Structure 1
Amino acid sequence: MVIILVYVDDLLITRNNINMITDLKGILNRNFKMKDLGELIYFLGIEVLRSQEGILLNQLKYAQELIQYAGLSETKVALTPLEQNQKLTTAEFDEVIQQHQEDTLIEDKTVYQRLIGRLIYLTHTRPDITFAVSHLTQFMQNPKQSHIEAAMKVVRYIKREPRLEIFLKAINKHQLVAYCDSDWASCPMSRRSVSGFYVQLRDSLISWKSKKQCTVSKSSAEVEYRSMTAVTSELVWVSGLFKELEISVTEPVRLFCDNKAALQIAANPVYHERTKHIEIDCHFVREKIQGLITTEYVSTIDQLADVMTKALGSQQHSHLISKLGLKKYCYTSNLRGSVERIIWG
């Protein structure tokens, strides 16, 4: 099998047979004017380093350019992306509740929009800022001074350690693990909840998401179950992708949730008035529990997806990020840019 990833005029080619790549390059060269850059080192702002232990992904150069673009090269660093318990609201909401503050609209909203756009791209290798960026995107239309200050704090947090990397370990046994969580009625304007999840291939982070739910839920169990439905959909897609790539994945997939009520709803086949409004979600999850997934309880302290649903204190934030394997790795490199040995991590 040979796989080609195409982005405009850039191509990545991988395979399980080196001869197929040689043949493919010959076919492409006969039909198009192309240049072979050799092994992948840098692609779309993402640096790729290899070793016998696995692959490292980072956006160090992009992060440094972002810090310089924001003009924060000489400022102090922040320990977390967002201030804990900070409630950001829109100007329209402030008028409705008649809250008069000195928090005025910024004159040029494109400054805020461009900064958030740059932060969005950085989330490709920085899941630790995903919730903060997702939260700040809802103020793109009419940003206030508090919003630009919060966005600048995200940049100051990046400045603390611009080279946080995702480590994809080289493994033989492919076992998927997922964590899902939610923050009930956290939006002060709409009282919608935030869902978040992580998907790992053994100890390697491969998928994550933070998003405000589309409907208002009347209980924390309901929002947790909707979050469980979202990660189950992702697991169905990831499992299908692996099968298409002829990669054997061990089933069932372990899905961790910290809400016992949601776990009981998933296990209990009896419907009642409290769950009939989420009946489709219940049927979907229970159908997958029969073969694809198995649900397990995890304590809130060790719930990795917690960092995707709310702003945490510096200690808990650092604890969860380290559990995800997102850290600065130390290694020695050869002249070609490949990693010879990972010293720790």
Structure 2
Amino acid sequence: MLVTGNDLELIRRTKEESHKAFKIKDLGNLKYFFGMEFSRSKKGILINQRKYALEIISETGLGGAKPAWTRLEMNEKLTAIELDNLTGKEDDDMLEDVGQYKRGIGRLLYLTLTRPDIAFSVQTLSQFLQQPKKSHWDAAMRMIRYVKRQPGLGILMSSNKSNTMVVYCDSDWASCPNTRRSVSGFLVKYGDSLISWKSKKQTTVSRSSPKAEYRSMGSVVAKVVWLTTLTKELEGGI
């Protein structure tokens, strides 16, 4: 259980009351929690999943592999088996061990908690969990080799105080070759700290690039409204 706040006395009382209800052990300042490592400095708190990333590299047998500079091959379009049947593509075999692919992508999805740089690529690979092909597995292995280049990369929760929220969003129109749907992506910064990000395929097909952009803006505005409301509630509680 993680207890946090800006009132040390309230935190102390919370731990005492919790200890009365059930026996707990106070581990002190936060250092490691559910695979995430926390390091403090004057600049802020650095959150990464270095140990977790190294475990993924070791389990896939890529400890001695050459790191990759990019997440996916340039201009590579991963396709589903249904599209291959329509286009007559027969040089990409089905993957025999489907469970291995599911486990690998599941671990990469958890790694996106501190690695926004791989969010889009992992979202792309997660679309083929039911019928993965050899090309999908090769792309997943390349992703892990990319993580190997900087396994300790994470996000910094800056110590600089600021109440400014900055939002970026974009869309890739009709980028999915299987469904022709667009992909939305956004990230939200509160001050100098990155607090929210996402890459997701849109639920409907957009007939033009502006429509895809509007849908992307709509999704991020909904997120900002939620974050703004949450911030006001926290300020009221404090």
Short-chain TM bin: over 0.9
Aligned-residue offset at 1:92: 1.7
Q: Which amino acid aligns with 1:223?
A: A
Structure 1 residue 100 displacement after superposition: 2.3
Structure 2 counterpart of 1:15, one-letter code: G
In 2, Cα distance between equivalents of 1:100 and 1:17? 63
1:161 aligns with 2:150: yes
In 2, distance between residues paired with 1:242 and 1:149? 42
Match of 1:66 in 2: 56
Deviation at 1:172, TM superposition (A): 2.3
Aligned pair 1:204/2:200, yes or no? Answer: no
Shift of 1:140: 0.4
- 3-state secondary structure, aligned to 1:49: strand
Distance apart, 1:183 and its partner CA: 0.4
Alignment match of 2:67 (pick from 69, 77, 99): 77
Match 1:93 to one of 83, 87, 93: 83
- Note the C-alpha offset of 1:53: 2.1
Equivalent of residue 133 in structure 1, options 122, 143, 147: 122
Residue matched to 1:32? 22
Q: For each residue in 1:224-278, what CA deviation from the matched residue of structure 2 results, as whole angstroms up to 9, or x when unmatched?
A: 010000110110111111111108xxxxxxxxxxxxxxxxxxxxxxxxxxxxxxx
The secondary structure found in structure 2 opposite 1:210 is strand
Instruction: Report the 3-state secondary structure (helix = DSSP H, G, I; strand = E; otherwise coil) of the residue aligned with 2:27.
Output: coil
Per the alignment, residue 202 of structure 2 pairs with 213
**Aligned counterparts of 1:16 and 1:144: Cα–Cα separation in 2:** 50
Q: Give the structure 2 partner of residue 237 of structure 1.
A: 226
Q: Distance in 1 between matches of 2:25 and 2:34?
A: 17
Q: Structure 1: how far apart are the matches of 2:65 and 2:208?
A: 42
RMSD: 1.3
**Aligned equivalents of 1:206, 1:15: Cα separation in 2:** 17
- Deviation string 1:24-50 (CA, Å, 9 cap, x unpaired) is 111111111111111110000000111
- Using the alignment, how far apart are the partners of 1:145 and 1:96 within structure 2? 18
Alpha carbons 2:162, 2:190 under 8 Å: kept: no
CA distance in 2, matches of 1:172, 1:127: 23
Structure 2 portions without partners, runs of 5+: none
Between structures 1 and 2, the one with greater strand share: 1
SS at match of 1:115: helix
Larger Rg: 1
Summarize deviations over 1:151-174 as a string: whole Å, max 9, x none: 000000001111112111112221
> Aligned pairs, how many?
237
Match of 1:176 in 2: 165
Matches within 5 A, 1:219-258: 219-246=208-235
For residue 49 of structure 1, the aligned residue among 16, 39, 42 is 39
Unmatched runs of 5 consecutive residues or more in structure 1: 1-10, 248-345
Report percent identity of matched pairs.
53
2: distance between equivalents of 1:207 and 1:172? 18
Give the distance between the partners of 2:6 and 2:51, measured in 1 at CA.
Answer: 31
> What stretches of structure 1 move > 6 A for 4+ residues in a row?
none
When the two structures are superposed, what TM-score results if normalisation uses the length of structure 1? 0.67
Q: Distance in 2 between matches of 1:123 and 1:172?
A: 26
